[in-house]
Amino acid sequence: MHTEEQISREYAVGEVRNMAFQFADLYFAFADCLRLEFGEEKALELAQQVIFRRAAERALTMVRRAQEQGVARVPENILKMTDVPFLGWDDAFGRDQCPYGAAWNRRIAENPWFRRFACLYCDVTDTTIAEIFTGNCSHKIYKNVLLGNETCEREYFPSETVKLGKYTYGTL
Percent with pLDDT over 90 in the chain:
97
* Alpha helical stretches, state H, 39-166: 40-69, 78-81, 99-110, 114-134, 160-163
Contacts (Cβ under 8 Å, ≥6 apart) of 21: 99, 102, 103
pLDDT at 9: 93
Q: What is the mean pLDDT of the chain?
A: 96
One-letter amino acid identity for 89? W
61-77 tens-digit pLDDT: 999 999 999 999 999 99
For residues 104 and 28, the answer to whether their CB atoms sit within 8 Å is yes
CB 141 within 8 A of CB 121: no
Give every CB contact of residue 33 below 8 A, 6+ residues apart in sequence.
Answer: none
Contact 88, 100 (CB under 8 A): no
Instruction: Please name the amino acid found at residue 118.
Output: A
Q: Are 152 and 124 in contact (CB under 8 A)?
A: no
For residues 7-19, average pLDDT:
96
Q: For residue 128, give the 3-state DSSP assignment.
A: helix
Nearest to 14 by CA among 92, 125, 104, 101: 92
Alpha-carbon distance values, 45 to 30, 68, 117 (Å):
13, 35, 10
pLDDT tens-digit series, residues 31-63: 999 999 999 999 999 999 999 999 999 999 999
pTM: 0.94
State the Cα–Cα distance between residues 69 and 3, nearest whole angstrom.
Answer: 31
